[in-house]
Structure 1
């Protein structure tokens, strides 16, 4: 079992721009500061995007230094609270890399922190070997035996999951009110089980690998960049990589080539710019997940792959070198040299959430269809009959229906209901008691 499914609409970017989940409310972009004063409001970026100006020379070394810095900051913050800090350790490259960096950091500060780093791995109940579990164990065993000083500072915590934790279970019961629909809504039952286990061990901070696939994972989004560079080398590289991606996808190469050349002709933004935008969406939506962990179990959630220094270190590497079709996450693998066993760095697959989603959909179909005639239908945003039929067909395994058509609707419906059902901490209200000063509104902020 995977820990959580990809965030709907976030793991591969979104076109929401500066829109928010609330009508008439504009989101402040990640990496920017909003200043409100009597003269008005201003939004300014905190840093200029671009390659790191200092630090190690090699791209892999820069990425490792940035990841180490992000994790060290989390560990330092945890040291002041006296709580333990944990990291997801699925056995995949992203989360396991962060878990081992955390263990290394905790070793360096063992006298100050006094807690072992907790590496948590979810797995099917009754399963003691195979899949993600073997890779996670290999990483922890390597840390304990292959890296000096780590033996006493890595605790491997296993979180067994059964049918009670299938996707779509307890979504109306567990999901609290958040700023926007939370990516973990569909998998809230298993997420809550992991958080409850960690809270029982005194964990106050959880590090996740969310965003790693968007930043470093395989994707052919850089092909238009190659198509736009009219050199023999670039065109040869374009053909070779397009053939590689077509082979992986078991599809024809010509649509990939035609799409890349059409995008280049239109002058669309380059892959690095689009990935940076996608990472901003990942970072923004991760806040809703963080609100869940804080409200349900008092745990602070961290996503180091969304850290500005990590993003810039990764995007300083050209797309063809960062995510080639025949080389899985090469820059991350090089960055983690010596910290992960070869068993993990040689891995070319990851846990698949899809079978669990189908089982959960079939198990909870009646409850899910009961959600259809709700807030979204009342606002005329969905056709209840059409969406109910879509759910039924998807549960039956009908082809051509993707979870991206189902999950965002369910997450938004649950979110709207949570906003109505949970008491608000604060609410924007309007009053006509006094005329507003020039240049202002007659609204006020009430705290309850």
Structure 2
């Protein structure tokens, strides 16, 4: 399946080399009202909604609730690009927005990164696209070693490093922000989305979440079309299945039976399937699936950025083949549920200032459950510090592990580089963190709120990569939890009610009362695939050794070849090091795929693009 893509050009007379190169590769072309090229690329007809009136045009690209008639009515409210977002109020889904209004261009992605946007100066003109690799190809940009080195950090990168593209000169437009280009070429970015206040009691926030998630799932249901869905047994994917059934979907579900003693996922998945109408449940035993990390030696079209998704890539493809063979054209994933529903415990910092007695009770619960050491937890809670100071401190501690029993992280998880990262890699990432400390504001002045927003952006970025990888294989995977309306609804909840230590995902459980069987909503456990992870590394030990011996990271001076080799062939010595290994393997495999496929497959020259404007 050919991946969709687009490039947006401002309404200006330019040297046409870049536009001509894009036109050669485009299947679809939409022009500004002036007749100059605006949107070039390739997209399924049902994923592009266009409206035009006089010197104004509006495009919604992706999965959305709008229609041509609806968008045309909304366009009547647009006099300048400043009116675009108010005109689109109430449109839900996961999509990009582009507008051309009297020579002014406005383009944005989604609020949390499930739909990304990048910009670059090409031939002296600001051009934007939904894929960084598209712009890198058009601008002949080189990989940025700083950004490659940063991808070795675990468990994740802080803002703003997390959203950076991988190429020099190709910059990301921050999620929740839009790019504006005036007729004279002046560019600016503005925030089009702001988080709601977290003030609603559980019952009201759960009601908003229920309706947002219901609408997100219903948007993916088509009458008469079989819908695939993951049914892990966890609360996230199970909720999506019941919402899809409520919307009238006929389901074929995928459940993996992990090879772990005492695993309960399959029990809950079977219970859910027994209570779902019109469902064909498929259960895949671990022994019947490819081992984790299978296929690392196969060169594939690289994703937009390195990803740990490759651990289960072969398994995902195997189950996708089975689902597609049953007639499914789309797959729903519960990805993002953990990030959306459960706020990080960093909210305790602000709670101590607002309500000390409540904070004391909740902190004691977390301390008992997480075995926090009292001195470390007290130091963390009482000394939040500024975001700038936190980034500076993180730069100085890159060689330290993330640590345990430390209490709530004030601004999110502190990044740490693995032992095999070279001194050069440490210097590059530390410099980037110190630069960010001097020039970056947090996502929110409240440390806990910042951490939750960062967590949600991590989910959005993962959803984008999951959709990209699955579309290439032939069965696109959507993550309704990562729709803007769903994530925004979660943010309205009071964090100490949505994420306290005495219940498992209380916000989602409250939202799904009456829709999902109570037996599932009362679940308090969460299984993992630890034994399969270690088995996969042991199974592929020889190939992992070969990867280390010919490491692209080591060749670039970013990793110590021998230390990396020891880590890859001795997985039992890396207890707790899963994110470090997966991030490193993700970066290594991505560099190899990029070397094998230097030209993006979606930019293979096409012929006879479909041009025009909406009728």
Question: Is this a same-fold pair by TM over 0.5?
Answer: yes
The aligned counterpart of 1:118 is 252
Cα deviation, residue 223, structure 1: 1.2
Residues 255 and 283 in structure 2, CA contact (< 8 A), matched pair in contact too:
yes
**Corresponding residue to 1:419 among 594, 603, 606:** 594
Cα deviation, residue 52, structure 1: 10
Residues 258 and 285 in structure 2, CA contact (< 8 A), matched pair in contact too:
yes
The aligned counterpart of 1:196 is 321
Alignment of 1:78-89 (within 5 A): 78=222, 83-89=225-231
Cα deviation, residue 354, structure 1: 1.6
**Residue 71 (str. 1) matches residue 222 (str. 2):** no
Residues 10 and 282 in structure 1, CA contact (< 8 A), matched pair in contact too:
no
Residues 13 and 279 in structure 1, CA contact (< 8 A), matched pair in contact too:
no
**Corresponding residue to 1:312 among 484, 488, 502:** 488
**Range with greater deviation from structure 2 (315-324 or 240-249):** 240-249
**Residue 249 (str. 1) matches residue 370 (str. 2):** yes
Aligned residues: 396
**Corresponding residue to 1:321 among 473, 479, 497:** 497
The aligned counterpart of 1:214 is 339
**Residue 103 (str. 1) matches residue 245 (str. 2):** yes
CA RMSD for the aligned pairs?
Answer: 3.2
Distance 2:216 2:295 in 1: 34
Q: Secondary structure of 2:516's partner? A: coil
Residues 177 and 418 in structure 1, CA contact (< 8 A), matched pair in contact too:
yes
The aligned counterpart of 1:28 is 173
Cα–Cα, structure 1 residues 130 and 446, in superposed 2: closer, same or farther, change >3 Å?
A: closer
Cα deviation, residue 20, structure 1: 1.2
Distance 2:290 2:152 in 1: 19
**Range with greater deviation from structure 2 (37-46 or 250-259):** 37-46
The aligned counterpart of 1:91 is 233
**Residue 167 (str. 1) matches residue 313 (str. 2):** no
Greater helix fraction, Structure 1 or Structure 2: 1
**Residue 19 (str. 1) matches residue 153 (str. 2):** no
**Corresponding residue to 1:224 among 331, 349, 359:** 349
**Corresponding residue to 1:383 among 539, 557, 560:** 560
Cα–Cα, structure 1 residues 253 and 165, in superposed 2: closer, same or farther, change >3 Å?
A: farther
Unpaired stretches in structure 1, ≥5 consecutive residues = 1-6, 108-115, 144-150, 428-444
Distance 2:273 2:157 in 1: 32
Cα–Cα, structure 1 residues 208 and 256, in superposed 2: closer, same or farther, change >3 Å?
A: same
Q: Secondary structure of 1:122's partner? A: strand
Cα–Cα, structure 1 residues 408 and 218, in superposed 2: closer, same or farther, change >3 Å?
A: same
The aligned counterpart of 1:237 is 358
Distance 2:209 2:568 in 1: 42
Distance 2:260 2:490 in 1: 39
Q: TM-score, normalised by structure 1?
A: 0.79
Residues 253 and 279 in structure 2, CA contact (< 8 A), matched pair in contact too:
yes
Cα–Cα, structure 1 residues 311 and 11, in superposed 2: closer, same or farther, change >3 Å?
A: farther
Cα–Cα, structure 1 residues 91 and 126, in superposed 2: closer, same or farther, change >3 Å?
A: closer
**Residue 289 (str. 1) matches residue 423 (str. 2):** no
Q: TM-score, normalised by structure 2?
A: 0.59
Q: Secondary structure of 2:310's partner? A: coil
Deviations 1:33-59 (A, max 9, x none): 4455661444344433215999x9711
The aligned counterpart of 1:269 is 446
The aligned counterpart of 1:409 is 584
Residues 59 and 317 in structure 1, CA contact (< 8 A), matched pair in contact too:
yes
